[in-house]
Amino acid sequence: MYEVHMQEQSMKLLQQHRRPFQVTELPRSSFSIYVPSTLGVSTSLDVAQRDRVVTGMARMLAELAGGCTATEGSGFYLSHSGRIVQEDVTILQSHMDLSQEEVREELLSMAHFLCIMLQQESVLVNLGGSPMLIAPRPKLNSLLQLWNQHQLEPRSTF
């Protein structure tokens, strides 16, 4: 008799709360950034460097959207020199409201920062279903190459 009573109570509870779990709908827009595994075209990052880059990018996405998913992959692209380049990538994807211009600009700036930091010709992003290549402006890219070639250090004017 006690067992039947408990089953009835359980059924009443389930009927009152239809779902014994919470459902949170996420925004329908998503953003993905393809994080390269190289510095420039051919210098592979070591595991610790790559982890720092991926974790840093993931943290930025988590701060903007609450989290992200990382997927490991391999990609190919044609470099400016005409060479086919293969490299491992980590694809970070997050769902967020992309209707605000500030959010979109923050995401594109994040990709631009990654491009400069890793000396990439470009970085692939997908912003709400629109794939885009983010690249530094040619003049800025030339200055960065000059900086790296000559290892120039800022000098004080005093």
- Examine residue 54 and state whether it is found in any structural domain, yes or no: yes
pLDDT single digits (tens) 86-121: 999 999 999 998 988 999 999 999 999 999 999 999
Domain membership flag for residue 4: no
Give residue 157's pLDDT.
Answer: 42
The vertex-36 CA angle with 142 and 93, nearest 5°, equals 125
Question: Could you list the residue range(s) of the whole structural domain that residue 75 is in?
Answer: 30-150
Quick one: pLDDT band at residue 155, thresholds 50, 70, 90? Answer: very low
Kindly give, in sequence order, each residue whose CB lies less than 8 Å from that of residue 38, ignoring residues fewer than 6 positions away: 44, 45, 87, 118, 120
Residue 9 domain-assigned (yes or no) = no
Interval 43-51 mean pLDDT: 94
Tell whether 104 is covered by a domain. yes
Residue 17 clears pLDDT 80, i.e. is over it: no
User: pTM for the complete prediction?
Assistant: 0.73
pLDDT higher than 70, residue 14: no
Q: In the predicted model, is pLDDT for residue 158 greater than 50?
A: no
Q: Is residue 3 part of a domain?
A: no
Tell me the pairing of strands 38-39 and 43-44. Answer: antiparallel
The pLDDT of residue 16: 61
The CATH number linked to 136 is 3.30.70.120
Domain assignment present for residue 17? The answer is: no
Question: Higher pLDDT residue, 41 or 109?
Answer: 109
- CA–CA separation, 58 vs 94, rounded Å? 9
Domain count for the chain: 1
**Quick check: is 11 in a domain?**
no
Distance CA 10, CA 6 (A): 6
Q: Answer whether residue 155 is part of any domain.
A: no
User: Nearest CA to 115 among 134, 139, 132?
Assistant: 134
Give the distance from CA 32 to its chain's centroid: 5
